[in-house]
A and B are shown apart, each in its own frame.
Chain A
Amino acid sequence: MPPGSSDPGRFLPLTPLDFQVLTLLASRELHGYGIVQSAGEAFPGQPSLDLGSLYRIISRMLAERLIHEVKAPGDAPADKRVRRYYAVTNLGRAVARAEAARLRALLASPATLILLESPR
């Protein structure tokens, strides 16, 4: 692996969807539908994850080692549908945190505050 690939800053800024996926997987292990479902609950009003985007994101994040596949938990539904569960890697968690911090700093900047508080 080339040097610097473990530097979280290298991945920033994240796209809104990448951030959603990473943040959700940082809190718990989820399968595909689980991610979609949780995203709808956790981030109402945000761009929603569709099937095509979701798996391209998963595919890319696996390749970038931001997430990894984990064993299905004991309470997983027992039918024939193939469900794989994913969780963040340490790098992935660090990247999500770095993005969150970046967003917080952005929102906390005086310029943003003035924008938000000024009448339209």
Chain B
Amino acid sequence: MKALGSRVVAALVSAFPSPFRERFGAEMLATYLDQRDSIAAGGNPHLDLWRHDARTVVSLFRALHAERRATSIRIHAINSRSTHRADPMSDFLFDLRLTFRSLRTRPGFAALAILTLALGIGANTAVFSVLNSVILSPLPYAEPGQLVRLYSAELRTLADKNYHSAPDIVDIRDQVSAFASVAIMGNYREQGADITTSDGHPERVRVLPVGADYFRTFGATPLLGATFTRDDERPGVRKVVISHALWQSFAAGNRNVIGRTVTFNGDSYEVVGVMRPTFSDLNGSDVAAWIPLNLAPGENSRGNHYLSAVARLRDGVTMAQARTQLEPLMRRIDEQFSEQGYYRAVNVVALHDDVVGSSSSAVYILMGAAGLVLLIACLNVANLFLARSVAQTRETAIRSALGAGRSRLIGARLSESLLIALIGGLVGSVTAYGGVKALLALSPESLARAEQLHFDPVLLGFALGITVLTGVLFGAAPAVRASRADPQDALHDASRGNTSGRGSRHVRSLLVASQVSVALVLLVGAGLLIQAFAAQLRRDPGFDPSNVMTFEVNLPNARYDSASRRVLLHEALQAKLRALPGVTNVGATSWLPTNGMYHSWGFSYLDAQGARQRTQGQVRVVDGDYLATLGIPLIAGRTFGSGDQLAAPGAALISQSLSRAAFAERDPLGQQFRTGGRDFTVVGVIADVASDASWATAPLVLLSHDQFADDRNWVLTYVVKSTLADDQVVQRARATLAEVDPALVLFRPQAMEAVMARHLARDRFVLVLMLIFGAVALSLAAVGVYGVLSYLVTQRHHEIGVRMALGAQPGQVRAIVMRQGLVVAGVGVVIGVAGAAALGGVLQSLAQGVQARDPLVFAGATLVLGVAVVLAGYLPTRRATRVSPLEALRND
């Protein structure tokens, strides 16, 4: 007991600052022990000793704290000299404590600096994290640099990104030695199959038909069993390789799954392999199973372009060498099949560029914006520190006069910058973490590879480093200068409050002007994107998506093995749907508008001179009142009727642009053309409709499902126009489908407007971020203007007082201050407009529909910025006129 008390007291005594401890430490202990001895001799020693120990400990704590403060201030403020090298760490800690204290007295400065840093660091880390995971990091396959995407292209336009026909791509695979292997896959991005689960109910999963070398090309091996062989690339092979996820859910991870059968669309498939969990399909990690493609010779037409391909270059072979090898092969094929008028060229693109291509421009825009925000943040921090260091000129001078050395003075400033940078970094990393979360939430599918998005601490370090550097540079630089100055001058100047900050005032004005200009650039950038987005929203897609519900219906091959059965089912379903109360129109299509390229088929026709020409057409199979449901205008001729049956001569509708391209001035009605190996007659011309996510139109061929149902088992997407609420339509349609065939699945119900909105999601996402960046830039610039003007008012306190004593009106004084602010902002705006004009060009090249020189956007952004600047300048201006002449003069 006694030992414990003494030990605590001894520890506390030893914690006193060294001069005090050395002088009084032993004595204090002696006194303590003397006291104890006398208490121990008393009547109630135990209790009294406890009480005494407790009181002593408390008193020592209090004294310790007080003595430390007093000692440190004595030692550092008065005795510290540049020669003082005793303990740099304790100097630093001292400065840090002093900094904490001084920041507490001016929380506004600290809050502004920290907020600025947090915004700059947070926004940058979040956006650069996205960039890093989505764009910069390699694809998750072995030797990803060797992977290239092969597109079929027209000789005239090498940029064309078309699909391959099976014979073409097989020839490429077998004859081009530049490729170690070629992965061939079906292009149908949304292809699905109904799988019958162990409990017997149908469920829809994503199934991808692939060639034999598919997995080998990606360097993937199965976890169990094997993948496909070339022998499997023929009709009627019912084998399947399943994903790790499907293995877990369907077979509960049972290793005996190999050889068992899975039922897809009513057909039995033998499980031959299970992929590893690390294999993520290029087409999406949700691909649950792979089945063999039918690539047998004679089974496929060279006019049917429906396959995608990824090739792996042989070691040491470049893309250019591959192109050189491809050219003679394609020419040879072209010559051999020239009577069919096909074009032959192959477009080779690095797979990584191909995957991230469409996202990269969005991310580059955001990266640029985040960089500008960081720049503004740095300028703001520099400005704040500069202002503070000027405000502290007097303090610095006093410390210098008292003998503090330069290194100590600069160190003090550095510790302040560092502390603020550290706190800013902490808040910034929280912001960044939240930012990445928000990016994920905002863009689950609009950014390629978004599933690999994660918060990147390395990048946080980068952004933090830049801002800290700024803080240190601008925190310490004025201190270096101030420490060189003659303290007497500094004190004199500071007390008069006029000349000491002239140099730094110019620097600060320059900084604010830069901030204003960068903010303007950001605002204009955001404005241009808003303009482009609004223009996109205003664009007419060529059809009316309102009150249209869509859903897919897939008929299993086993039970719907003939065209007539499929036609009958769809007829029956449509009739029942049409009879539902509230439903006005019902139709179906093989691929919805705006969903991009699907069946891109050769379209061969005779020109006015009777020569065979060919072009490309997007083929859609439609059923029911498709045109009426989506409000697509019929420009000439007729739509499909009950006469367009299987046995009747082929009838087709073509879009206006295709009609113009193929038949020019001739009457398109009655013209013949060939596609998918069959002959058709144009019976009608329809208006162009938006074909892809950017509302671009493509030459379109519509064929009747009734007539074309024998080509394959088409998965039809229904379009139902009604006066009902979305969920009501779905509910009734599902019930109706069950009446027709209870085993069918109503898949992926979505309103047509939602289908389209999904395509705009990425643009909207970029826009929201740009708006946030613009708002941040605007507020930081306003803070900058406010800071400079209030500083100006403080600096010219005396002058303003004299002016007012001499009879200046408040309005005149306000004008003086405001003019300063407006000059600074004006310079910034001029530079900003020039910068924004340059940036507009970049934006135009990156984002669709941007009008780089839109005067409305420039004027609007300048106006918004101007209002912010005037508002920010108003407060300090008002304060200027409140200066009492008497007080200002007395302060002198």
Contact = CB atoms under 8 A, between A and B. Distances in A.
Contacts of A102: none
A32 B38 contact: no
A82 interface: yes
B16 to A, nearest CB: 9
B101 interface: no
A101 to B, nearest CB: 29
Contacts of B30: 31-33, 81-83
Interface in A12-50: 31-33, 36-37, 50
Contacts of B31: 31-33, 36, 51, 54-55, 83
Interface string A56-81: 10110000000000000000000001
Interface in B43-64: 55-56, 58-64
B63 A53 contact: yes
A42 B815 CA distance: 71
B34 A33 contact: yes
B26 interface: yes
Contacts of A54: 31
A32 B27 contact: yes
Contacts of B58: 50
A51 B56 contact: yes
Contacts of A31: 27, 30-31
A50 B38 CA distance: 15
A33 B23 CA distance: 16
B23 A59 contact: yes
B20 A83 contact: no
Contacts of A81: 29-30, 33-34
Nearest to A62: B23
Given A51-B56, A51-B60, A52-B59, A82 B27 contact: yes
B interface: dominant SS: helix
A38 to B, nearest CB: 12
A33 B37 CA distance: 11
Given A50-B55, A82-B27, A56 B32 contact: no
Given A33-B34, A36-B35, A81-B33, A55 B28 contact: yes
Contacts of B9: 51
B337 interface: no
Contacts of A33: 30-31, 34-35, 38
Nearest to B60: A52
Contacts of B23: 59
Contacts of B32: 51
B67 interface: yes
Interface string B583-599: 00000000000000000
Contacts of B64: 52
B816 interface: no
B740 interface: no
A83 B24 CA distance: 10
Given A32-B27, A59-B24, A52 B62 contact: yes
Nearest to A50: B59
Nearest to B32: A51
Give the bracket for the number of chain B residues in contact with chain A.
Answer: 20 to 34
B661 interface: no
A55 B33 CA distance: 15
Interface string A89-109: 000000000000000000000
Contacts of A56: 63, 66-67
Interface string B1-45: 000000001000000000010011011111111110010000000
A37 B38 contact: yes
A53 B61 CA distance: 10
Nearest to A35: B31
Contact of A52 (B26, B34, B38, B63): B63
Nearest to B16: A55
Contacts of A37: 38
A53 B63 CA distance: 6
Nearest to A81: B30
Interface string B488-505: 000000000000000000
A27 B28 CA distance: 22
A56 B27 CA distance: 12
A75 to B, nearest CB: 15
B382 to A, nearest CB: 43
Contact of A84 (B20, B27, B61): B27
A26 B61 CA distance: 29
A50 B56 contact: yes
Nearest to B55: A50
A49 to B, nearest CB: 9
Contacts of B26: 82
Contacts of B24: 55, 58-59
Contacts of A52: 56, 59-64
Nearest to B63: A52
Interface in B249-305: none
B54 to A, nearest CB: 11
Contacts of A82: 26-27, 29-30
A36 B31 CA distance: 9
- A31, A50, A52, A83, most chain B CB atoms within 10 A: A52
Nearest to A84: B27
A51 B67 contact: no
B21 to A, nearest CB: 10
B402 to A, nearest CB: 15
A81 to B, nearest CB: 4
A84 to B, nearest CB: 6
A56 B65 CA distance: 11
B15 to A, nearest CB: 12
Contacts of A50: 55-56, 58-59
A53 B34 CA distance: 17
A84 B29 CA distance: 12
A52 B29 CA distance: 11
B66 to A, nearest CB: 7
A120 to B, nearest CB: 32
A47 B729 CA distance: 86
Given A82-B26, A82-B27, A51 B34 contact: no
Nearest to B31: A32
A33 B26 CA distance: 13
Contacts of A84: 27
Nearest to A58: B24
A50 B55 CA distance: 8
A31 B361 CA distance: 82
Given A32-B28, A82-B27, A82-B30, A55 B63 contact: yes
Interface string B671-711: 00000000000000000000000000000000000000000
Given A37-B38, A83-B30, A84-B27, A59 B60 contact: no
Query: B9, B20, B61, B63 — which one has the most chain A CB atoms within 10 A of its CB?
Result: B63
A31 B29 CA distance: 12
A88 to B, nearest CB: 18
Contacts of B33: 81
A89 B31 CA distance: 22
Contacts of A55: 20, 24, 27-28, 31, 63
B723 to A, nearest CB: 86
Contacts of B20: 55, 59
A31 B59 CA distance: 19
B336 to A, nearest CB: 103
A102 to B, nearest CB: 26
A81 B31 CA distance: 8
- A-B pairs, 10 with minimum CB distance: A52-B63, A50-B59, A32-B31, A33-B34, A81-B30, A52-B59, A82-B26, A52-B60, A33-B31, A55-B24
5 contacts: A32-B31, A33-B30, A52-B63, A55-B20, A59-B23
Given A54-B31, A55-B28, 15 more contacts: A31-B31, A32-B27, A32-B30, A51-B28, A51-B31, A51-B32, A52-B56, A52-B59, A52-B62, A52-B63, A55-B24, A55-B27, A55-B63, A81-B33, A83-B27
